Every structure is written in C-alpha cells, then in structure tokens.
A and B are shown apart, each in its own frame.
Chain A
Amino acid sequence: MNVVFYISAAVAIVSTALAITRMNAVHALLYLIVSLLAVALVFYVLGAPFVAALEVIIYAGAIMVLFLFVVMMLNLGPESVEQEQQWVKWYVWVGPVFLAGILIIELIYILLGERSLLAGNHNVSPTQVAVTLFGPYLLGVELASMVLLAGLIGANRLGRGSTSGRGKGKDR
C-alpha cells in the first residue's frame, strides 16, 4: 500500500504543477481534476474511504464543473468554435490520460489485492465520522449551513447583471 501512496502523491504533485503552469484554463482544469483524483486515492490509502468518495463527488465532480461552466460562459461567440477546434488536439489529453491511467492501474491493484492490504493505516469508518460529525460537531454543521447560505446569497447578488439588479435589492 505504501507504493500506491507514493505513486499517487507523485501524480498529484506533477499534475498540480502542470495545472498551475498551463496557459489554457481548460487544460489546467483537466490536470487539476487528475490531481484531485490522485488525492482521493491518497485518502483511501490513509484509511479515509468516505472522504475519498467526497473528494471525487464534490471536488472533482461539482466544484470543477462550476469552473467549467464559467469557462464556457466566458467563451461565447463565433470565435469560440475555431478556438475549440484549436483546443481539441491530440496532445491536449495525452498528459491527463497518462496520469489518470497510472491512477486506474493503482486502483485495480488495490481492488485485486488482499483485503488485509487495506488496513495499512488506521481505518476510520464512515460510521465513526458520522457519529463525530453529528455529536460534538453539531454546531459546526449548523454553521456550515449558514456559510453555504451566505455563499448562495452572495453569488446570487454578485452574479446578477448590473442593470437588472439596480433598484431591486435593499443595498443597491
């Protein structure tokens, strides 16, 4: 299992370094998704399977899709078609596919391995996490919901157009 950890860590570092040095936002997003998947595998090896699932579903699934939506919104117009043709070259996806291939080989290795290999580190089950989350940290859950509500209202106010928002709200 240590081998899986170190290879995933190397993939995460390489893909993050590539993500922050890309000139193109879509290429950077591809590499960042690979980096998040590698970190999810790191979490799994560290004995946190629930957090690994959350990393894939919420980080790589939901938050990166938000970024993709914004990239799509910023590239409207007829010039986006030839830009798109320029983007979908074969060498664009070779790097992410190579790194993601390393990750899937590791995942197959874990799944085919013996079950005892999964207990390398202390395994913290989702049940323990839930008992802790809704026990001593219940106030934190309530506060997190308030933060999400504040983010929702803030995004709604800021994302509204400058002309349509005028005179409707209290603070403007």
Chain B
Amino acid sequence: MTASVPVEHSLFLAAILFVLGLVGVLARRNVMFILLSIEVMFNAAGIAFVAAGSEWAQADGQVMFMFILAVTAAEVAVGLALLLRLYRHFTTLNIDAASKMRG
C-alpha cells in the first residue's frame, strides 16, 4: 500500500475551491456567474465531506455528498428559473438591477 494523501491536503483543496467560489459570488455581477460560483462552493463542501469520510473509512461522508447533490440540483433549478424571470423582466443579467425591485 502506498502512502495515502493526508487529509489536510484534501481540506486545503476544499478551502481553496470554496474561497474561489466565494470570490466569484462577491466579485461578479452576472447572475449566471454567481450561480456557477455557488456550484463551486457546494462542490468544495462535498470535497471536505468525502475527504473526512475517506480519512476515517466511513461511508457517511459520501452519503452527505449525495444530499449535497440533491440540494444543488434543487437550487440550480430554482436559481435558473429566477435568472430567466430576471432576464425577462429587466432584459439584463445584472444582479444590481434587481435591487430596484419594489413591491
């Protein structure tokens, strides 16, 4: 058996990907890119779960990843429907346009 990957390195990868997604959410103004960045953050959380489950040889981490997958699918469906509504209403994908929404 070769030397296994230390769990800290997997968690570093998860942290870096999460921060990249967070930067994307904060920096971009296009709703499409914000949704993509949220996907990246969900994925990073999944890496952390799977790495921890692999470290202790438990299946719970992979089960949690499957729940993340279900939540992500629901979030993407609702988020993209909202994106289409925003585009139809304001004819732009700028998230700041929605701040003018009243009532």
User: A residues near B, CB below 8 A?
Assistant: 1-2, 5-6, 9, 12-13, 16-17, 19-20, 25, 28-29, 32, 35-36, 39, 42-43, 45-48, 50-51, 54, 58-59, 62-63, 66-67, 70-71, 73-74, 116-117, 119-122, 124, 128-129, 131-133, 137, 140, 144-145, 147-148, 150-152, 154-159, 161-162
Contact = CB atoms under 8 A, between A and B. Distances in A.
A67 B10 CA distance: 28
B44 to A, nearest CB: 9
Contacts of B77: 66, 151-152, 154-155
A46 B32 contact: no
A51 to B, nearest CB: 5
Main secondary structure of the interface of B (DSSP, over half): helix
Interface in B16-48: 16-17, 20-21, 23-24, 27-28, 30, 32-33, 35-37, 39-40, 43, 46-47
Interface range, B side: 35 or more
Contacts of A117: 2
Nearest to A20: B24
A129 B63 contact: yes
B41 to A, nearest CB: 10
- The 5 closest A-B CB pairs, nearest first, are A151-B74, A20-B24, A122-B57, A158-B81, A144-B70
A150 B63 contact: no
